[in-house]
């Protein structure tokens, strides 16, 4: 009753409507500050998860000798870790925002997925969240090369499992770019974006609420300052650490480089999240709120025509929820997490039914 699903009519859309319509999670819940989306956003950024998760880190070396980190959630703190018998049925790849900030909300989603039998793993970009930076190069906003290597590795490690991916906030730019560039070769069975940023350049140029921008800017600078020596050969470190906005930092890192400088316009021609959206061939649920203070007004920030024309993109739009907030009282404080997990369950059921339907009839 509080949500609207915008999509192109199809058998998959009908199945999704039935599955989500029968679920109670989309009714959300009452909250103390329903009309204060910026407080919801601040809570989402700062509140730690309960209980604290246990994480096992794995470093993946890339073809150019760079490193990305995969953090496997193996259980809550003080709980006995380890997996049960048999291989996983679904591996869930969690992609943080573009600043690499692993929020309490993302960890809470991972823990909820773990309780439901998923195998959650967090993708950390080069130099983010304590991942060592072994090359003087970071990952641009919409360059899916490193993510492709991680997905290929996960497929090789768990060849029989369904691979799923979910992104949070500005991290959706990376996931959407990967889905468009990979097309039917993405190896993913389904994907979801929570409060995604669809138009990267417009988002950087419009500016963001300082409650959101300054914590992420400081988080990025603190991480980059550890590698100031190695980055000095590629970028102007003084300009980088003196940036007063996320746009200035993005330009210092990827446009005003010493070896291959480029213009702001050319950078976004290669890094817009939806540049190849027509090639996407994987179901994608985008969970958005009309009062999102970070993405901006729906009229200019939501690509409504994409959801009307593509059979793979589904927009679940709610009136209130803030940015990655979607709060409710009680356990599992974000109903958006439950909606995403319900969506993945519905996709798995649909794919199994399609596989059975396409099998040749058994001989009598």
The pLDDT tens digits for 65-77 are: 999 999 999 988 5
Pick the last residue of a domain from 215, 245, 270.
270
Among the listed residues 143, 291, 323, 337, the single catalytic one is 323
DSSP code, position 282: S
Q: Position of tokens 């730690």?
A: 48
254 within domain boundaries: yes
pLDDT score at 303: 96
Q: Are residues 106 and 241 in the same domain?
A: no
Catalytic residue among 143, 276, 291, 292: 292
Residues 82, 84, 88, 92, CA torsion sign: negative
Do residues 303 and 167 share a domain? yes
pLDDT computed for residue 326 by the predictor: 86
Asked whether residue 121 carries a pLDDT value surpassing 70, the answer given is: yes
In a domain, 80, yes or no: no
pTM, whole model, 2 decimals? 0.91
In a shared domain, residues 225 and 329: no
Q: With contact defined as beta carbons under 8 Å apart, do 40 and 105 qualify? A: no
Q: What is the pLDDT of residue 78?
A: 42
What percent of the chain clears pLDDT 90, i.e. is strictly above it?
A: 68
In a domain, 126, yes or no: yes
Range of lowest pLDDT (113-127, 128-142, 202-216, 300-314):
202-216
In a domain, 349, yes or no: yes
Residues 276 and 286 in one domain: yes
Number of domains in the chain: 2
Instruction: Identify the pLDDT of residue 43.
Output: 61
> What local confidence, expressed as pLDDT, does residue 53 receive?
85
Mean pLDDT of 169-197: 97
Apex CA 29: angle with CA 27 and CA 31, to 5°? 150
**Average pLDDT for 99-125:** 93
pLDDT at 86: 40
279 occurs within a structural domain: yes
Asked if the model's pLDDT at residue 37 lies above 90, the reply is no
Q: Is residue 341 one of the residues assigned to a domain? A: yes
Asked if residue 186 and residue 335 are part of one domain, the reply reads yes
323 as an active site residue: the answer is yes
Query: What is the helix (H) or strand (E) element at residue 266, kind and residue range?
Result: helix 264-271
191 to 39, 71, 72, 329: CA distances (angstroms): 28, 19, 18, 27
Question: How many CB atoms neighbour CB 80 within 10 A?
Answer: 8
- My answer on whether 217 and 170 are in the same domain is no
In this prediction, residue 32 carries a pLDDT of 47
- Same domain flag for 111 and 218: no
pLDDT of residue 39: 62
Q: What is the mean pLDDT of residues 167-176?
A: 97
Provide the domain limits for residue 237.
207-270
330 and 182 together in one domain: yes
**What is the strand order of the sheet 3-6 is part of?**
3-6, 313-318, 284-289, 190-194, 162-168, 90-95, 119-124, 67-76, 53-61
pLDDT surpasses 70 at 35: no
**SS3 state at 206:** helix
**Averaged pLDDT for residues 77-101:** 70
Is 292 marked active-site? Answer: yes
**Among residues 270, 291, 323, which one ends one of the domains?**
270
Q: Quick one: average pLDDT of 275-291?
A: 96
Highest average pLDDT, of 28-37, 143-152, 256-265, comes from 143-152
Q: Residue 161: name the closest of 109, 87, 110 by CA.
A: 87
For the segment 226-245, the average pLDDT, to the nearest whole number, is 93
Domain C-terminal end among 218, 253, 270 = 270
Look at residue 259 in the predicted model and tell me its pLDDT.
87
Q: Both 4 and 100 in a single domain?
A: yes
């Amino acid at each position: 009753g509080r949500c609207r699903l915008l999509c192109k009519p199809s058998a998959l859309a009908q199945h999704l409507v039935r599955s989500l319509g029968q679920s109670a999670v989309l009714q959300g819940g009452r909250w103390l500050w329903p009309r204060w989306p910026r407080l919801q956003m601040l809570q989402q950024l700062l509140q730690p998860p309960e209980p604290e998760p246990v994480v096992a880190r794995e470093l993946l070396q890339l073809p150019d000798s760079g490193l990305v980190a995969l953090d496997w959630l193996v259980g809550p703190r003080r709980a006995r870790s380890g997996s049960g018998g048999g291989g996983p049925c679904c591996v869930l790849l969690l992609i943080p925002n573009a600043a690499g900030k692993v929020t309490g909300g993302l960890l809470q989603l991972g823990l909820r997925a773990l309780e439901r039998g998923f195998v959650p793993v967090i993708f950390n970009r080069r130099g983010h969240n304590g991942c060592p930076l072994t090359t003087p190069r970071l990952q641009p906003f919409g360059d899916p090369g490193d993510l492709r290597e991680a997905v290929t590795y996960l497929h090789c490690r768990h060849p029989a499992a369904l691979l799923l991916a979910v992104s949070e906030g500005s991290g959706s730019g990376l996931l959407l770019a990967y889905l468009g560039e990979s097309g039917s070769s993405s190896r993913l069975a389904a994907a979801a974006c929570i409060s995604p940023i669809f138009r990267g350049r417009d988002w950087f140029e419009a500016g963001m609420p300082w409650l959101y921008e300054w914590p992420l800017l400081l988080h990025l600078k603190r991480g980059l300052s550890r590698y100031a020596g190695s980055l000095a050969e590629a970028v102007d470190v003084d300009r980088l650490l003196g940036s007063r906005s996320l746009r200035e930092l993005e330009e210092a890192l990827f446009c005003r480089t010493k070896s291959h400088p480029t213009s702001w316009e050319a950078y976004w021609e290669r890094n817009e999240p939806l540049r190849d959206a027509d090639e996407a061939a994987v179901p994608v649920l985008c969970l958005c709120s009309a009062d999102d203070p970070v993405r901006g007004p729906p009229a200019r920030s939501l690509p409504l025509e994409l959801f009307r024309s593509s059979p793979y993109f589904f927009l679940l739009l709610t009136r209130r929820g803030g940015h990655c907030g979607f709060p409710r009282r009680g356990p599992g404080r974000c109903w958006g997490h439950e909606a995403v997990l319900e969506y993945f369950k519905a996709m798995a059921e649909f794919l199994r039914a399609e596989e059975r339907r396409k099998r040749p009839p058994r001989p009598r």
